[in-house]
Amino acid sequence: MLLEVTLSGVTLGGMYALVAMGLTLQYGVARIMNLSYGELLIAAAFAALWFYSGLALSPLLGLLVVPPLAFALSYAIYRILLQPLVRRAKTRDALEVDSILATFGLLFVIQGVMLAAFGGAYYSYSFLSIPLHIAGATVAANRLLALVLAVVIGLGLYLALTRTRLGTAVRAVAVDPVAAQLVAIDVRTASALAFALGGALVAAAGVLVSMFLTFNANLGVVFTLKALVVVIMGGVGNLLGALIAGLVLGLVENYVAVFVDPGLTLAATYAIFLLVLLVRPQGLLGRSSR
Amino acid sequence: MSRRETLSILAGALATAILACVPFLFGDYGLSLAINIVSYAVLATAWSLFSGPTRYVSLATVAFFGIGAYTTAVFAETLPWPAVLAIAAVIGVVVAAIVGLSTLRLSGVYFVIFSFGLAELVRQLVTWWEVNKTRTLGRYVFTDITAAQIYWQLLALAVLVFVVGFLIGRSRLGLALRAIGDDETVARHTGIDTTRAKVALFVLSTVFMTLTGAIMAPRWTYIDPAIAFNPVVSFTVLIMALLGGVHRLYGPVLGVVPLALLFEFLLARFPNHFSIMVGLVFILIVYAIPRGIAGLVEQAVRRPA
């Protein structure tokens, strides 16, 4: 029983980690506090649902199609909607306030579109729901597959950011945008790429999540909140921190849902958040610079 | 007190006297529209009381509004009305103090994140409590409070929020908050206890939100967590305050009146696409009028001189 709960907690935590990695790219590098972030996850989940039940294709094919689309969409959102704000903002704080407001508006637009299309009902589909037996515990194959894919995507991102020239440039912008400019890094392009990459990640997570969770059009806000909490908990801009914090959150949530009450998972999230705020506001692996 | 201040007090008193007559002049529809507008005027003014000078965007308006509404739903039948309002205010203060003390000593972003999910958290907790402990979801609110009485209570609350805002503007607290809004580090170095000032004002502003919820609850007769904690309310209040302009006390009201009428129209004509349109209106405001109508008015007044 404990092993089963832990396994499904790790799966959920892997999703949170993936979602938070994308958000930490958007917030840490592009300096955009994106409140509409989770809406993209739900949109991707609906896209995967449509792939499976509308086109009778595997949602894994969706994983090849949906994230690139989300990348393009996020890139367009950044260039058209957010760059004017970046140009207008005098300080980092001013940009933060403006981006919060603009993306809060975007949240309601995207959510409104999905509500108009799908209503408030819960959706799910049954893909690879075969029980697998691992060391005496039973896990659904779709969960395990989602976890493996999340690990592959996360690892790929980590390598891309640490081993390539472009990745290094992106990380340099996260550390100090002014100094990055001095060493001939195009901060605007790097920011736009980081924002778009974040969008692609959350869309990938959306496709994976749709394979084993029920979802509805209102759920984006909750994912945004959890991603934000994980980002803060791991330390803003820190990928490894996001990974660890995501796993912790997934595990705690699952334990609370199974052993206490499923209605209290968000309360558990908030309890962790409060603890982080009180004990270590710079995050598990964050530097206390701010 | 300057001549200008005396004039604005007189104008405010006159406006209140005229507005108090609304229930006698208009029919049921007019009155319900007026209730809507005055309640949003209180919420938007209370919102900008805190978020205006400090520039900390609070997304939790409906969390407090809902707490007030639920307090009424639980206690209205058993307790006298003033006691219900007092309980609502106390619960609001406690929640606001927890949020404020845990986040406002840090940078603004923690506060925004905390407030972002607060309504959802409270909604889930209330749902959990109702399902597990009282075994009902949704409550009927039966009181003998008429629509006109709700309107007058809201109007009194609106007057109170303006008086409080006016007094804060003239007090040391108001000066401290403006300093925090301009530069928090400088404010701290001049000896202002920034955390205390922020928490005090946040708590004060949320009390008005909680009371608005408590007063409005009898309008619905039936409430459940989804109605009481509807995130669109937070969003609407934010838009209205921003359209009006948050750097002046009278600003938010300028945004409330046109938008309340517009939303009334949109809700009637496009009930299924309401949040899309509101979102678009909001984005438009953020880009086109960042300083609100009050900012535009000031610009227009200053130009000829």
Confidence check: pLDDT of A290 > 50: no
Helix (H, G, I), strand (E, B), or coil: what is residue B222? strand
Which H or E run contains B298?
A: helix B292-302
Average pLDDT estimate for A19-29: 87
Q: Which of A101, A107, A112 sits opposite B286 (nearest CB)?
A: A101
Write b or e for each residue in B161-191: b if 16 or more Cβ atoms lie within 10 A of its Cβ, otherwise e: bbebbbebbeeebbbbbebbbeebeebeeee
Confidence check: pLDDT of A120 > 80: no
Select, from the ranges A20-24, A119-123, B102-106, B185-189, the one with the highest average predicted confidence (pLDDT). A20-24
Q: CA of B184 to nearest chain A CA: how many angstroms apart? A: 11
Q: Tell me if B154 sits within 8 A of B35, measured CB to CB.
A: yes
Q: Please state the domain extents for chain B.
A: 3-231
Q: Tell me if B44 sits within 8 A of B163, measured CB to CB.
A: no
Q: Is B258 on the interface with A (CB under 8 A)?
A: no
In this structure, the number of other CB atoms found within 10 A of the CB of residue B3 comes to 7
> How many angstroms separate the CA atoms of B214 and B68, rounded?
4
Residue A113: its chain B contacts at CB < 8 A?
276
**pLDDT of amino acid B222:** 86
**pLDDT of amino acid A129:** 67
Beta carbons within 8 Å of A185's beta carbon, 6+ residues apart: A169, A172, A173
HEC states along A30-99?
A: CCCCCCCHHHHHHHHHHHHHHHHHHCCCCHHHHHHHHHHHHHHHHHHHHHHHHHHHHHHCCCHHHHHHHH
**pLDDT of amino acid A289:** 46
Q: Among residues of chain A, what percentage have pLDDT more than 90?
A: 9
Confidence check: pLDDT of B210 > 90: yes
> How many angstroms separate the CA atoms of B36 and B27, rounded?
14
Q: Among residues of chain B, what percentage have pLDDT more than 70?
A: 99
Confidence check: pLDDT of B113 > 80: yes
Confidence check: pLDDT of A151 > 50: yes
> How many angstroms separate the CA atoms of A10 and A243, rounded?
11
Interface probe for B, chosen from A86, A87, A104, A229 (most Cβ of B below 10 Å), is A104
Are A281 and B106 an interchain contact pair (Cβ–Cβ within 8 Å)?
yes
Q: What is the ipTM of this complex?
A: 0.80
**pLDDT of amino acid A153:** 87
- For the question of whether the overall pTM of this predicted structure is more than 0.90, the answer is no
> How many angstroms separate the CA atoms of A199 and A203, rounded?
6
* Biggest CA pair distance of chain A: 59
| Surface-to-core class of residue B265, CB atoms within 10 Å of its CB (0-12 exposed, 13-18 middle, 19+ buried) | exposed
Interface probe for A, chosen from B109, B120, B128 (most Cβ of A below 10 Å), is B109
Confidence check: pLDDT of A142 > 70: yes
Tell me the pairing of strands B139-140 and B222-223: antiparallel
Q: Report the length, in residues, of chain A.
A: 290
Q: Is A36 on the interface with B (CB under 8 A)?
A: no
* Closest residue, chain B, to A34 (C-alpha): B113
* Closest residue, chain B, to A110 (C-alpha): B276
Which one has a higher pLDDT value, A92 or A198?
A: A198
The structural domains of chain A, ordered by start, are: 2-279 (1.10.3470)
Q: Is A89 on the interface with B (CB under 8 A)?
A: no
Residue A98: its chain B contacts at CB < 8 A?
286, 290
Q: Tell me if A205 sits within 8 A of A19, measured CB to CB.
A: yes
Amino acid letter, residue B48:
S
Q: Which of B109, B117, B282 sits opposite A105 (nearest CB)?
A: B282
Integer-rounded Cα radius of gyration of chain B? 19
Q: Tell me if B249 sits within 8 A of B158, measured CB to CB.
A: no
Average pLDDT estimate for A208-223: 85
pLDDT tens-digit series, residues B29-50: 888 888 889 999 999 999 988 8
Residue B55: its chain A contacts at CB < 8 A?
93, 97
Q: CA of B292 to nearest chain A CA: how many angstroms apart? A: 14
Q: Is A84 on the interface with B (CB under 8 A)?
A: yes
Q: CA of B65 to nearest chain A CA: how many angstroms apart? A: 19
Interface probe for A, chosen from B47, B57, B113, B135 (most Cβ of A below 10 Å), is B113
Average pLDDT estimate for B207-220: 90
Pure H helices in A176-279: 177-182, 187-210, 220-234, 239-255, 265-279
Average pLDDT estimate for A66-86: 89
Q: CA of B183 to nearest chain A CA: how many angstroms apart? A: 10
Average pLDDT estimate for A156-173: 84
pLDDT tens-digit series, residues B130-172: 888 777 777 887 777 888 888 888 999 999 998 898 888 888 8
> How many angstroms separate the CA atoms of A257 and A268, rounded?
9
Q: Tell me if A79 sits within 8 A of A151, measured CB to CB.
A: no
Q: Among residues of chain B, what percentage have pLDDT more than 90?
A: 14
Nearest to A150 by CA among A52, A279, A258, A14: A14
Which one has a higher pLDDT value, A212 or B164?
A: B164
Average pLDDT estimate for B88-115: 86
Q: Is A254 on the interface with B (CB under 8 A)?
A: no
Q: At what angle do helices B292-302 and B251-269 cross, to 10 degrees?
A: 130
> Which pair of tokens denotes residue B97?
């103090």
Q: Is B117 on the interface with A (CB under 8 A)?
A: yes
Contacting A residues, span 151-180, partner chain B, CB-CB under 8 Å: none
Confidence check: pLDDT of B278 > 70: yes
How far apart, in Å, are the Cα atoms of A149 and each of A9, A14, A49, A242, B18?
16, 10, 18, 17, 66
Confidence check: pLDDT of A286 > 70: no
Using pLDDT thresholds of 50, 70 and 90, give the confidence band for residue B203.
very high
Are A35 and B116 an interchain contact pair (Cβ–Cβ within 8 Å)?
yes
**pLDDT of amino acid B91:** 92
Integer-rounded Cα radius of gyration of chain A? 19
**pLDDT of amino acid B303:** 67
> pLDDT averaged over chain B?
85
Q: CA of A192 to nearest chain B CA: how many angstroms apart? A: 19
Confidence check: pLDDT of B212 > 90: yes
Q: Tell me if A243 sits within 8 A of A154, measured CB to CB.
A: yes
Confidence check: pLDDT of A188 > 70: yes
The full DSSP string for A102-151 is: HHHHHHHHHHHHHHHHHTT--B---SS--EEEETTEEEEHHHHHHHHHHH
Q: Which residues pair with B140 in a beta bridge?
A: B222
* Closest residue, chain B, to A218 (C-alpha): B231
Confidence check: pLDDT of B1 > 70: no
Confidence check: pLDDT of B231 > 60: yes
